[in-house]
Amino acid sequence: MKFGKRLKRQIEETLPEWRDKFVSYKDLKKRVRLICTTLEEEANSNGPASSGCASTRVSEEEEEFIFLLNAEIEKFNAFFMEQEEEFVIRQKELQERIQNVTATLGPNGRRMSESEYKEEMGKLRKEMVNFHGEMVLLENYSSLNYTGIAKILKKYDKRTGGLLRLPFIQKVLQQPFFTTDLLSNLIKECESTMQTVFPTEMQERTEKTVDIAAIEDSIFRNTLAALVTMREMRRGSSTYSHFSLPPLNLAEPPDQSDTFTLLSPIPIQ
């Protein structure tokens, strides 16, 4: 599947409030075509010796193109940092809620009833699964936008004869939206918490209600789509280069049961 179609599908399947935050890939492609058409017309008007897409005016067109690319980068960074900051706060709040429930209703706490304890832990488990899913979506957001920018730059250099791709990608690699170390650590911490707080025996008491609810939840479905997209984008191919994202090793095939195992350390029977 071509990247443009994959991006469109992912935008349609992501959270509604995220849809205008992705790379404006279609608009940037139109801009590249317009630039090339303009340069070809100018070259043809100067005679056969100057024919071709590249011309002495490429630097002027490139300046405008870089401005548009920088605006996209700013959009990515603003959204990514806002979400990342929110995730840090939510992670801390969830940890505190788990501690409070365990201290108050847990085995060593002042448990009022078994049903109340199960109900509260069930709610927390679902929230943790959905929270994990949103973070995976943001990781996918980073990958998709990087790939979109890299592909647009490749098209630009190929059609105009420019050399913009390498220096601009080097800049992109330093941007907050591409620097996902903190996000990756949050995801790992969330997974670790789920493994610790919701061990295998907890599954037997909650899976019939919580797992079904999580599977039906829109965040879960969106995350499933994101995982499939990341796997497709990072799959090794004959066109793999140092501009490509590293391969992502996911279970095959990415059906609901396999992917849910990736989202939650608690196995599904």
Residue 45 pLDDT = 77
222-252 burial: b if 16+ Cβ within 10 Å, else e: bbbbbbbbbbebbeeeeeeeebbbeebebee
Any idea how long the chain is? Answer: 269
Tell me how far apart the alpha carbons of residues 58 and 32 are, in angstroms, rounded to a whole number: 11
Tell me how far apart the alpha carbons of residues 230 and 235 are, in angstroms, rounded to a whole number: 8
Residue-wise pLDDT for 150-201, tens only, equals 999 999 999 888 889 999 999 999 999 999 999 999 999 998 888 888 764 3
Residue 194 pLDDT = 86
Residue 222 pLDDT = 64
Residue 20 pLDDT = 95
Q: Which residues of the chain have pLDDT under 70?
A: 47-59, 105-113, 199-269
Residue 145 pLDDT = 95
Residue 171 pLDDT = 94
Residue 227 pLDDT = 64
Residue 71 pLDDT = 97
Query: How is residue 217 annotated by DSSP?
Result: S
Residue 259 pLDDT = 37
- The conformational region for residue 247 under phi > 0 = left, psi -120 to 50 = alpha, else beta, is beta
